[in-house]
Amino acid sequence: MRTALERRATRLDVSMRPGGLLAPLPLLAGISAALVAAAVLFSNGSSDDPLIWIGGLAIAFAAAAAVSAAVGAVAVPELSALGVATVGCFAGLVVWQGFSLLWSIEADRTWNYVNRALVYLAFLLLGLAVGTMRRAPRFAAGWLAVVTAAAIGCALATKIFPTLSAQTERVARLSSPIGYWNVLALLTVFALPLALWIAAPRSRPDWLRAAAVVYLYAALVALALTFSRGGVAVGIATVAFWIAIGRPRLESAAALAIALVPTLVVCGWAFSRPGLTRDAQPRSLQVHDGRWFGLALVLGGVAAFAAAFFAARYENERPLTESWRRRLGRAAALAVVVAALIGVGALLAAGITPSRVLHKFNEPTATSAGQGANNLTNLSSSSRWNWWQEAWKSWRAHPALGTGAGTFELTHRKLRVDGTVATEPHNLPLQFLSETGIVGFILFLGIALAGAGALLETLRRLEGEDRLAAAALVVALFAYVVHGVVDFDWDFVAVTGPAVLALGVLLAAGRPARVRLRARRGVLAVAAGALAAAALYSLASPWLAARRVDDAYSALGRNDPAGAVADAHSAHDLNPVSVDALLAWGTAEAARGNVAAAGRLYTKAISIQPDNWRPWYYRARLLENIAGPKTALFDAQQAAARDPRGLAGTYAASLATAP
């Protein structure tokens, strides 16, 4: 007789039944896969616009998963204590960011940031649901490999056909389809353990292992052409981590070696071509070099496939004995150590000592230098050191609560020592510390530490192919955490969405699952629907308000101040904490001669965000037009105190010297 657990597994495994793909769990898995693809390929960097439909769908289907769990159609994973702590800290961080609206110095930006966190929470819940499926780690890792391969293909295509991306005419660094080279570098790093997971096991077909080596080769080329120092460093650490926890190690090293040879050849040639590696080159040169790069890329891929295919076939026909595997493993480890020592020696011989590196890293940088291939040899922090100091000073001033989620831009404008503009400090721990205070930082740290423990539990309980796939996902999550120390990856759903969904899958994978919840199903279903409706409203309202602000300025452009007033008023109703709506409204009132109303609206904007330079600046310009520069000087100085090295500082200085 079958046990109760076997009967339950039979009820849940609907994939082989007629219409099984339309059952709730497989359907949720398919939708989650589509959302990951949309996040990677169509999120348009850190823009809020695509987040409306990507995030809205994620929230809607996360609610559908909760309702399905309430009625018993989807199993609920019985998470370990560490898994519960991870999910609890994540939800707590979202809630705490929401509370920070009460004291935020830039509440409209905070609201947008809370919405982004709500979307990530929806991705996590979808991951927990998908994780109850059989072979869930394999499904998640396989689909992420497909999506990252598509993104890498799109990125390399912009080098072969420069007209595919308008950005390539100005900037040589590879960035499509995400729009930011460092985040694209992180995405290519995700591909490294996934490619090795496919290429290494001898149980795979020879053609599949060879195709995985080509995938690895393409990821390495794309990573190099992002010219991302942090991405390359994290990539090296990621491969080392995979060799440590992945299997089989020797085959992984062999696949990496086979992929590296054409990578070095193709990149060595590409770095000599100005149309591929220098900014602001003529389009004709970019097209010329791009065509040759395409040929070199294809030839390198053919060579990688052929070498990997024949190596896999040779290995199958003449498998290595265990003694030879140990010898080769020791030789490979020795080669890595020798290469590392030679590299360190070469750096020291060139005068690149730790003290010099530290000095150059801390050196103030007016702009982010080295945007072309020279960026790889640039030792400066590209202003990061300044931003980290600004975030630290901000936390020291607001240790308990922070300044509000997503508000670093105002902090930066007030404290910056150069003309750079940054929306975040490019360091996730410092970002959460300065913006959400010690409470938010502890919750963020809880996600990292409890999550690490929970992922270790996952690797211990899974076996075979599921364990290998889970290891690849764990290594990708490791890359996300490490890269977050030098960038602001939280702002990009292209990497954070897939990473959070993979985290949810791994927390639930291999855990027991209840078919039905003990609580009343109706209450849970209604609660899930109500929370989803509130989240969708929260997501849509600021976005609609921003559209109304754009409409207001469009109306002003066609000399329709009355229409602009109506649009700006509507924007303020949709988002009452937005200064953009009030500034547009005041501008429209001033355009139709109602300067008193404009002044009141600017004053209201100041009362909402007194630490924001823009309302002070707008009111100063209004006062200058009405009563002259002396009357406007106080407001201009208030704006300059909040942005001394920007437009406000320049304007205040001009008023101070006016007759």
478-524 confidence digits (pLDDT tens): 999 999 999 999 999 999 999 999 999 999 999 988 766 555 667 77
Q: Mean per-residue pLDDT for 613-619?
A: 97
Tell me how far apart the alpha carbons of residues 477 and 190 are, in angstroms, rounded to a whole number. Answer: 8
How high is the pLDDT of residue 379? Answer: 72
547-577 confidence digits (pLDDT tens): 999 999 999 999 999 999 999 999 999 999 9
DSSP-derived letter for residue 514 is: E
Higher model confidence: residue 353 or residue 637?
A: 637
Q: Mean per-residue pLDDT for 111-139?
A: 96
- Contact at 8 Å (CB) between 586 and 572? no
67-110 confidence digits (pLDDT tens): 888 777 888 889 999 999 999 999 999 999 999 999 999 999 99
Taken in order of first residue, the domains within the chain and their CATH numbers are: 80-121+134-321+408-512 (no CATH), 542-656 (1.25.40.10)
Kind plus residue range of the DSSP H or E element containing 39: helix 24-42
Task: Count other C-beta atoms under 10 Å from residue 163's C-beta.
Answer: 12
Determine whether 627 is exposed, middle or buried from the number of CB atoms within 10 Å of its CB (0-12, 13-18, 19+). Answer: exposed
> Among 236-245, 277-286, 360-369, 577-586, which is the least confidently predicted range?
360-369
How high is the pLDDT of residue 6? Answer: 43
Residue 19, pLDDT above cutoff 50: no
Measured between its terminal Cα atoms, the distance across the chain in Å is 98
How high is the pLDDT of residue 359? Answer: 60
- Contact at 8 Å (CB) between 152 and 216? no
Tell me how far apart the alpha carbons of residues 438 and 523 are, in angstroms, rounded to a whole number. Answer: 35
Residue 613, pLDDT above cutoff 90: yes
341 backbone dihedrals φ, ψ, rounded to 5°: -65, -40
Q: Find where tokens 């001009």 sit.
A: 654
How high is the pLDDT of residue 170? Answer: 78
191-234 confidence digits (pLDDT tens): 999 999 999 998 899 999 999 999 999 999 999 999 999 999 99
Higher model confidence: residue 376 or residue 292?
A: 292
How high is the pLDDT of residue 132? Answer: 92
How high is the pLDDT of residue 370? Answer: 46
How high is the pLDDT of residue 569? Answer: 96
Q: Mean per-residue pLDDT for 340-363?
A: 63
Across the chain, mean pLDDT equals 89
How high is the pLDDT of residue 344? Answer: 62
Q: Mean per-residue pLDDT for 230-257?
A: 91
How high is the pLDDT of residue 2? Answer: 45
Sign for the pseudo-dihedral over CA of 453, 458, 459, 460 = positive
> Among 331-335, 392-396, 629-633, 647-651, which is the least confidently predicted range?
331-335
> Among 15-19, 124-128, 213-217, 417-421, which is the least confidently predicted range?
15-19
Tell me how far apart the alpha carbons of residues 548 and 605 are, in angstroms, rounded to a whole number. Answer: 17
Tell me how far apart the alpha carbons of residues 199 and 209 are, in angstroms, rounded to a whole number. Answer: 4
Higher model confidence: residue 8 or residue 447?
A: 447
What 3-state DSSP class applies to 76?
A: strand
The CA-atom distances, in angstroms, between 161 and each of 168, 180, 287, 293 are: 10, 19, 7, 10
Higher model confidence: residue 8 or residue 167?
A: 167
